[in-house]
């Protein structure tokens, strides 16, 4: 069994059997019908994968749309914009529309923060000029930005980067994860980001660690959780490949990636979003 599937199953069981609930408490998220979206959750969850050894954090228990996941990360770190029209027209993604603050943007968040503080260029230059420095950090959780506009506070909010010989290691910190819906989307899109950055600075992708403070399952996703636990994982080992040729971070496109040997269990599951 894939490590990612094993960990996925273990975490779902831990949430379902031993998790805490915010039922009865006032919560921010709600469903499209206006009902508060409550969760069962666990805290301080850590996963680590050796990307150099083809240990990728993608489940086979349901399909993960890797192209869309990577496109979203390009919108944030390449386009560096909060504009939802760019996300729709360039990348074909509309799921962020639920967080439109009323002007076809998500406010001073994510890509807008990357642009405002020149975070991506700072990271790339730092890794090239001082590879063994311990200050290679990209943090999207900027309180000044939260005061500037409305908008969802970043969920996956910080990456820390370390050079280790010929390898580039990355840690992703996340305050909150809607596990069944976005858990593996977030993991794989940030692995793709690590692969692009590593190529840009002449290194190989090494270890990917994911730290989540609140890992949760929504109360309207419990049936889907039980369905996932009933499925038999694929026996194949999927790998994400960044094709050879390009070396400039800003030149990569989603078509430069290929996910091979990926045979997830179908059909896809449907989820009501907590927004």
Q: Give 12-40 pLDDT, tens digit per residue.
A: 999 999 999 999 999 999 999 999 999 99
User: Is residue 155 annotated as a catalytic residue, yes or no?
Assistant: yes
The topology under which CATH files domain 42-215+231-260 is Thymidylate Synthase; Chain A (3.30.572)
* Predicted local confidence at residue 204, as pLDDT: 98
Token pair of 179 as six digits: 């596990």
Handedness of CA 58, 61, 67, 70 (dihedral sign): negative
- Whole-angstrom Cα distance, residue 95 to residue 66? 15
Token pair of 31 as six digits: 């469903």
Sequence-distant (≥ 6) Cβ neighbours of residue 233 within 8 angstroms: 1, 2, 5, 59, 60, 61, 265
Give strand pairing partners of 48.
Answer: 209
Please give the span between the terminal C-alpha atoms of the chain, in angstroms, as a whole number: 33
Helix (H) or strand (E) holding 147: helix 143-148
Which of the following is catalytic: 155, 160, 211, 275? Answer: 155
* Predicted local confidence at residue 185, as pLDDT: 97
- Whole-angstrom Cα distance, residue 140 to residue 113? 6
Whole-structure pTM over 0.95, yes or no? yes
The pLDDT profile of the chain, 275 residues, written as one tens digit per residue, is: 999 999 999 999 999 999 999 999 999 999 999 999 999 999 999 999 999 999 999 999 999 999 999 999 999 999 999 999 999 999 999 999 999 999 999 999 999 999 999 999 999 999 999 999 999 999 999 999 999 999 999 999 999 999 999 999 999 999 999 999 999 999 999 999 999 999 999 999 999 999 999 999 999 999 999 999 999 999 999 999 999 999 999 999 999 999 999 999 999 999 999 99
């Amino acid at each position: 069994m894939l490590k990612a599937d094993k960990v996925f199953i273990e975490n779902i069981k831990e949430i379902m059997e031993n998790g805490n609930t915010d039922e009865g408490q006032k919560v921010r998220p709600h469903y499209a019908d206006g009902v508060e979206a409550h969760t069962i959750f666990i805290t301080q969850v850590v996963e680590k994968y050796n990307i150099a050894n083809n240990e990728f954090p993608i489940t086979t228990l349901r399909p993960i749309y890797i192209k869309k996941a990577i496109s979203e990360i390009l919108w944030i770190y390449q386009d560096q914009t909060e504009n939802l029209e760019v996300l729709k027209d360039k990348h074909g993604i509309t799921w962020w529309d639920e967080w439109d603050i009323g002007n076809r943007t998500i406010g001073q968040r994510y890509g807008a923060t990357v642009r405002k503080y020149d975070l991506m260029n700072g990271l790339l230059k730092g890794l090239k000029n001082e590879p063994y420095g311990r200050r290679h950090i990209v943090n999207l959780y900027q309180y000044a930005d939260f005061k500037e506009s409305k908008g969802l506070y970043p969920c996956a909010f910080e990456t820390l980067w370390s050079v280790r010989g010929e390898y580039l290691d990355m840690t992703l910190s996340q305050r909150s994860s809607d596990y069944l819906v976005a858990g593996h989307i977030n993991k794989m899109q940030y692995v793709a980001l690590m692969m692009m950055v590593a190529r840009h600075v002449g290194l190989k992708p090494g270890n990917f660690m994911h730290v989540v403070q609140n890992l949760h399952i929504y109360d309207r996703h419990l049936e889907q959780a039980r369905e996932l636990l009933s499925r038999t994982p694929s026996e194949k080992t999927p790998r994400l490949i960044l094709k050879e040729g390009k070396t400039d971070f800003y030149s990569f496109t989603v078509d430069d990636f290929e996910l091979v040997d990926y045979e997830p269990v179908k059909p896809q599951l449907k989820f009501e979003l907590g927004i």
